[in-house]
Amino acid sequence: MKLNELTITELRTLLDNREVSAQDVLRDVQGRIDEVEEQVKAYVTVTRDEALTMAKQADETLAAQKGSLLTGIPIAVKDNMCTKGIRTTCSSKILANFIPPYESTVTAKLLDQKYVLTGKTNLDEFAMGSSTENSGFHTSRNPWNLQCVPGGSSGGSAAAVAANECIAALGSDTGGSIRQPAALCGVVGLKPTYGLVSRYGLVAFASSLDQIGPITKNVRDAALLLNLIAGHDPLDSTSAPVDVPDYAPYLGKEIKGLKVGIPKEYFIDGMHPEIDQSVRDAIRQLESLGAVPVEVSLPHTGYAVATYYILATSEASSNLGRYDGVRYGHRAKSKDLIDMYMQSRSEGFGPEVKRRIMLGTYALSAGYYDAYYKKGQQVRTLIKQDFEKAFEQCDVIATPTSPSPAFGIGEKATDPLQMYLSDIFTISVNLAGVPAISLPCGFTGDNLPIGLQIIGKSFDEATVLQAAYAFEQSTSWHTRRASL
């Protein structure tokens, strides 16, 4: 087996025992990028030279026996997290040549660990999308079927992990953008509780919903990465001042007696039948491990998509107002100030970003604010209360991650509503601010991955990881790899 096919945990042992070097690991990862990246298109920027320098430094650290958990581990970062001196584009032409003068908190924490940055991964422009087809540069492809999307908006990160073009990756999740592509690419994706991981240096889409999290090959690696990026950050005013436990001891704990909520609203007509069957089989597997299924109700689920696309677009309209062609980013050639503003934004933003800016601006406009934005906030409160009531009856909630497996490139590109419905099972989690993980639980007859979503109480990632690890270790779905 090649080194790029291993997990963080497996490589940690080899590196610490000096059986391989960080440069050996990077050589295999970069070899894989050379081999398949032209097909997968997971990256916007491959940091070949920077990675080699980082790998050499990691080897020096290891030789001095001062290594940490991520020392020498090649990790990809979604291209909406600022990396000092390295291009950060958000897959948008308006930021095509933007080089940040500072480091995001999460990548600074990885730098402290002496990780190796393989590159910045592709996404839907400004994280607005469910397929990476909205990227301003190119569409990433699903390693399981190159004619299918990898999901979005963290499609590049999920595809890179699934194709073994990195060992793990960071993504961001505003309405399902870590979990949905993880499900479609057959890997593990974790969205932490809002406020657990700093958003400082994450280019904002919808500030009350965005959250950074890991995309990995298994649950243990997700827990390990979360341990390292979580924690209070004074640079982020929304960062929660909570103690972060060590999640590792929860992996391997039995789940006998754990109450697993099954929401009837998440098993709906129109869902792909093989997904319905696989998720129900997964729930039965949890039951065989001692978990107790409990029927729960999340009655306002039907309003989640509409609520999300009012609130998220409103926040996007506000956040993207800063791209005016003056301070940074693309600037149109014009001698007239107002015309320069208009042309810069017209040339720099893609159609989906423009659509969401207009939706959000309308929802916030005079005469419509109360009818749309205010009402959306009220329904958001109801959705949050649904989860609070459900968690009075159970410890975690199990659902499908996506209503369909990976769909064909171009299949939903002309129908925004159908694309928006791709996140119907993930959006509520962001509105409520609670944690959730997606992990493989089966495959369709066409050999496309299916994801199980496990949702937890606020700041109870430990129980989510405990349940996910128990399921993962009792099945073999996570061991299957895409063959390109």
pLDDT band at residue 269 under the 50/70/90 scheme: confident
The answer to whether the beta carbons of residues 123 and 78 sit under 8 Å apart is: yes
Please check whether residue 269 lies inside any domain of the structure: no
Q: What is the mean pLDDT of the chain?
A: 96
Q: For position 341, what pLDDT does the model report?
A: 87
pTM of the model: 0.96
Q: Which CATH number belongs to the domain containing residue 140 in this structure?
A: 3.90.1300.10
Q: How far apart are the first and last CA of the chain?
A: 15
Please check whether residue 29 lies inside any domain of the structure: yes
Q: For position 148, what pLDDT does the model report?
A: 97
* Cα→Cα distances 238→211, 231, 243, Å: 11, 12, 15
What pLDDT, in 10s, does the model give residues 289-333?
A: 999 999 999 999 999 999 999 999 999 999 999 998 888 888 889
Would you call 126 exposed, middle or buried from its count of C-beta atoms within 10 A (0-12, 13-18, 19+)? buried
CB atoms within 10 A of CB 438: 34
Percent of the chain clearing pLDDT 90 (strictly above): 90
* Cα→Cα distances 350→89, 135, 346, Å: 13, 8, 8
Please check whether residue 263 lies inside any domain of the structure: no
The answer to whether the beta carbons of residues 126 and 157 sit under 8 Å apart is: no
What pLDDT, in 10s, does the model give residues 343-400?
A: 989 898 999 999 999 999 999 998 899 999 999 999 999 999 999 999 999 999 999 9
Indicate if the pLDDT at residue 10 is higher than 90.
yes
For residue 295, give the nearest of 189, 155, 394 by alpha carbon. 394
Please check whether residue 158 lies inside any domain of the structure: yes
What pLDDT, in 10s, does the model give residues 187-236?
A: 999 999 999 999 999 999 999 999 999 999 999 999 999 999 999 999 99
Task: Over range 79-93, report the average pLDDT.
Answer: 97
Please check whether residue 357 lies inside any domain of the structure: no
Please check whether residue 317 lies inside any domain of the structure: no
Q: What tokens appear for 252 in the block?
A: 């391997």
Q: What tokens appear for 309 in the block?
A: 């696309």
Please check whether residue 271 lies inside any domain of the structure: no
Token pair 């099945």: residue: 475
User: Strand 396-400's sheet: what is its strand order?
Assistant: 43-46, 116-121, 74-78, 168-172, 212-216, 188-191, 436-443, 449-456, 396-400, 259-263, 292-296
Active site amino acids: 78, 153, 177
Q: What tokens appear for 441 in the block?
A: 């639980």
453 forms bridges with which residues in the sheet?
399, 438
Domain that holds residue 154: 3-257+394-479
What pLDDT, in 10s, does the model give residues 401-457?
A: 999 999 999 998 777 777 877 889 999 999 999 999 999 999 999 999 999 999 999
Total structural domains in the chain?
1
Please check whether residue 37 lies inside any domain of the structure: yes
What pLDDT, in 10s, does the model give residues 126-150?
A: 999 999 999 999 999 999 999 999 9
Distance in angstroms (rounded) separating the CA atoms of residues 375 and 358: 18
